[in-house]
A = this chain, B = another copy of it.
Amino acid sequence: MAKIAVYPGTFDPVTFGHIDVIERASRLFDKVFVAVAPSGEKGTLFSIEERLDMVVRASARFKNVKVESFNGLVVKYARKKGARVMVRGIRMISDFEYEFQMALTNRKMARDIETVFLMPNESFSYLSSKLIKEVARLGADVSTFVPADVKNKLKEKIVHEKTS
């Protein structure tokens, strides 16, 4: 039976850390759905279309990876896709606690879906979309953190924020 996995996230924007996890997942499972979540309570810098577009480009070279947006509970989305696995990257203790809590909540709702945690490359262990947006707003060059097209999108967005 083909092993299908879902890798959910906000990807606001996608970073080299996310891409590293996507690559690892693509090697572990037969099919991987990268599931881009709608903006949560706090809002996102990029629209769902922009985020989808950036993840699509970043994942183009992984043949068994498909990028989609989803609504509602991620475990319901996973079931619809026939996925029995949820993938999460884990870098730090604080990640770990939140991820654990989320995974246990998901498990209560869907006993048949298993969360597996992967470690990104240690050189990406400090990367966070939040921090990248912060330093980009302060004028930093973020080309060591995100792909070139994401870097450009970030620059445009931030100029637009400041002039609007």
**Total contacting residues, chain A, CB less than 8 A:** 45
Do the beta carbons of A117 and B116 come within 8 Å of each other?
yes
A122 to B100 CA separation, bound complex (whole angstroms): 10
Contact A28–B122 (Cβ < 8 Å):
no
Verify B73–A138 contact, CB threshold 8 A.
Answer: yes
Q: Are B92 and A94 in contact (CB under 8 A)?
A: no
CB pair A125 B122 closer than 8 Å: yes
Interface residues of A in 53-100 (CB under 8 A from B): 72-73, 76, 84-85, 90, 92-94, 96-98, 100
B73-A139 in contact (CB<8A): yes
Tell me whether A119 is interfacial, beta carbon within 8 Å: yes
Of residues 96 to 130 in A, which have CB atoms within 8 Å of B's CB atoms?
A: 96-98, 100-105, 107-109, 114-119, 122-123, 125-126, 128
* 9 A-B contacts (beta carbon < 8 Å): A3-B29, A28-B116, A92-B97, A93-B93, A93-B96, A93-B97, A104-B119, A117-B118, A122-B122
Chain B contacts of A100 at CB under 8 A? 92, 119, 126
In the complex with contacts A118-B114, A119-B115, A105-B84 CB distance below 8 A: no
A85 to chain B, nearest CB (A): 6
A76 to B84, CA, bound (A): 29
Specify which chain B residues have a CB less than 8 angstroms from the CB of A104 in the assembled complex: 119, 122, 125-126
The 10 A-B residue pairs with the shortest CB-CB distance in the complex, in nearest-first order = A104-B126, A117-B117, A116-B116, A73-B138, A101-B126, A94-B97, A72-B138, A92-B97, A72-B139, A96-B96
